[in-house]
A and B are shown apart, each in its own frame.
Chain A
Amino acid sequence: MHTDIAAALEILFSFKVIAFMVAGIVAGILAGALPGLTATMSIALLVPFTYRIDPPIAGLMILLGVYVGTMHGGAISAILIRTPGTPAAAATCFDGYPLARRGEAALALNVSTIASSVGGVFSVLVLWTVAAPIASVALKFGPFEMFCLAIFGLSVISGVSEGSVVKGFIMGGLGMLFAAAGRSTVFDIDRLTFGIKDLPESGLRYIPLMIGVFAITEALDRVEFRTVAGESAAKVKNKFPTAAQIKQILAPLGISSVIGTVVGAIPGAGGDIAGFVAYDQTKKFSKHKEEFGNGSLEGLTASECANNAVTGGAMIPMLTLGIPGDSVTAILLGAMIIIGLRPGPTLFTDPDPAVRGLVAAIFIGLLTANLLVFPIRIAGAPLFSRVISVAPQLLWPLVVVFCIVGSFAMTGSMISVYIMLVFGIFGYVMKKFHFPPGPLILGVILGPIAESNLHRALLISKGELLPMLSPLAVALLLISVLSVALPFIQGMRRNSKN
């Protein structure tokens, strides 16, 4: 363990890696502050560039920096203009905006910085503690258990589908279908290519797909629906909380750190849910319930602390089981695969010191990003608060330009750009009909895992079903069924009550 940490420190603490991480954090805060630029979209846009960076861990640190930065940045527009920069900051509007309206925007921003950093650091420490034990259990999984795990991951779709669960599962199925198209690594044949030659292999293809579905779709939507004037916000000068105010937010910090980490570790439950749950629980325990919704520092702290604690929590299933819990970790998982890491239980038992060093570097990197973001946000508060005034006629065309460069960079071929365009149109049309994009990404990532492991399991059991059904596999399948059925049952109960 000590040698792993020493190796990680050697990898991480070079000027280049730290500089890239800081750049990622700043870019993340700026992107998070701009409504429409979510963590998923920002990371999808950056993956094609980061995988070329040497050493590869520097590229990964940019992505982790962006991940942490966007979760922080979402609070800025939520506080200043009552528009959450990211969905995770939705509950931040309740108390952040009233504080800004009574002239305490700087105080609100700095309290949100403190809360976000505490939540983030806490969740990374939990991740570091529980990752190896969970992975050691997961190591006992055979191919059929891995298939069941992928099915469990897919069952999460019921949780990440805003609106209709049926539409969410259709998108998940389409994602698996898109991942199955092209050259199959399992069967070594071309499938469902629609006559397109030189289709990039699945791993390289899904980055243009993600860029298209998230970024191009959002750009087209913004151009179609939003007016062109940039949002204006008051200039912000730094103001820090007093000792009494710090004392007041200590309890919300503790409650929300735990809630955020636990909610984050549950596949399908993201920062927005964590923020609302923590807000609600903190209000229940608060002595100043009447202040909630009118500029309560406790309410602001609860939301911001919880949505940032999700970052470490969400990495738990992704790193230990190789199963992403949401679209952001799905993209991060893809980025790790591109740089040669295979998230999953074997990641923690790899005898190669280089891999063990890289794993430790991910933990330390995430921790460092959560620590570095604090001084960056405090020092840059006046600057970050002005980013929301960027004119859309400059912003969205530039986002499109980055989409094209990013897609092209993956393969050095225009076919990736065409794929991005096709999926941009696809995402735009699906959005018109209220199909959620998150399940599509889960399907793209988990489809190949499900197919290859089921194939292997069937080969081992010689096509018999019964020998494959271990207690663990049955338990995973039952949990999956429950996870899918629960929203339907809740919906039916709600309808019968009404």
Chain B
Amino acid sequence: MADVSHTPNAPPRHLPAGTPPILELVNIAKYFPGVIANEHVSLNVFPGEIHALLGENGAGKSTLMNVVTGLYQPDAGEIIIDGYGTTFPAPDAAISAGIGMVHQHFRLVPRFTVAENLHLGWSETPKRLSAKDIEGRAKELSARFGLPVRPSAIVSSLSAGEQQRVEILRVLSRGARLLILDEPTAVLSPVEVDELFSGLRRFRSEGGAVIIISHKLDEIMALADRVSVLRQGRLVGTHHVADVTPDSLVTEMIGRPVALATSYPRQVPVLEVGKAELLSLQQVTVRDNAGVVRLENVSLSLRPGEILGIAGVTGNGQPELAEVLTGLKDPESGTIFLNGKAVNRADPAMFAHAGVGHVPEDRLKRALMPGLSVAENMALREYDRPPIGGKFGFSMPQARKFAQMLADKAGVKLPGTQVQIRGLSGGNQQRLVLEREIRIASHVLVASYPSRGLDIGAISAMRDMLARARDAGVAVVLMSEDLDEIFALSDRIAVLYAGRLMGIMARADADRDSIGALMSGRSLSEAA
């Protein structure tokens, strides 16, 4: 099926037949101790092409791009640029060959202005410079590449989309002809995604080449000319996008067809809901440290065996709601009831012991200790009880065994339980956190954007886990920016807008239009 359209060497159809590729990879291999990161990867990228790179978490996409940008040396194979075999001993060699990478986590100095960031570490930066000069130069660059930026703005004050434009502009200004983007849309709003895509299309029409790593199939279908799929470090196919469907890509990526279910029917009869309220909020208002109201008069209650979906545009009070529900933050006014009793003071330990699990939005910042080992990270919720520990003790051998058990359950292949968790991919970190939290969530699980950074196979597994938790009688709160996900899993759907709960409705009564209207701040009567 896949092999029919596998055309590794032909240029995209809109280019003339004899176009020489800008980049050719021939039989690239990269090994790490005990792991084949890449093997037999051969790939061409042509000028005037947008080439998508697709694969599960850990399929070897990042390693391959690190080879192309000179961060890693391939253990076998050849890199050919414009027909000449080359090696990139270090990243600067790749940059001078015209290869530029925009990382998922921006590499900008937050306290510097846009113009200063653009001129950092650049051989063409004038020796003597004034703020006015470099801002003028930044303005020129911005105009030349058609990427609007404000040269005098401090980077930390910019939105994610604006920061990304600065990053792209910095790469382009160094003469990049091949632009590599790692999950560029993960942090962008829909409008910013459109702007990014039109920028990339303009770059392509001027003869630039783009490699884009993405998990989002619809984006690949809309933007890319060709797509290459990696599985377990090997290239399984390169196709013209016109010849494939999202389903065939998923099958090729995972090795079996996976479709995200649109509903998760209960495997066990519904529990008597409504009787016990595990956790509820009454007229809760929360302010952030700057005194801005983040949640306003929110009342809701969680029932056992039910998934409550929280829809809403990001930044409308979701993190604060999760913090209030898990005992991380005291509300300014209003009451939290845990198992029917009012909570006087926020105490995350009390909530955790009452069986409240929490998968936070920013797992690396909040739920993990990046510098500690996988074993220590996995022990975070159960270090105070046997077998890992007790009132005084702590057993590292038991913690390692426990971590290995969680990793096996989560389907994460670990290089060892003693490695720092920051060395794992974002997807694997997320799977481990999810596994750890579901274990302690005997009553409530608050999951904020649990599918962020996961590939489709892992998302499917994550959703099954949530559904199983629901079937076991856990009250699940699911915050997501993906309405499909909300609709597939939720029993009730609540909408957050500007910190207010715009309404809670049963899944059966909800439709996309009304939810969409609530998300943009219109009440139902206005929408009707």
Q: Do A and B come from one complex?
A: no
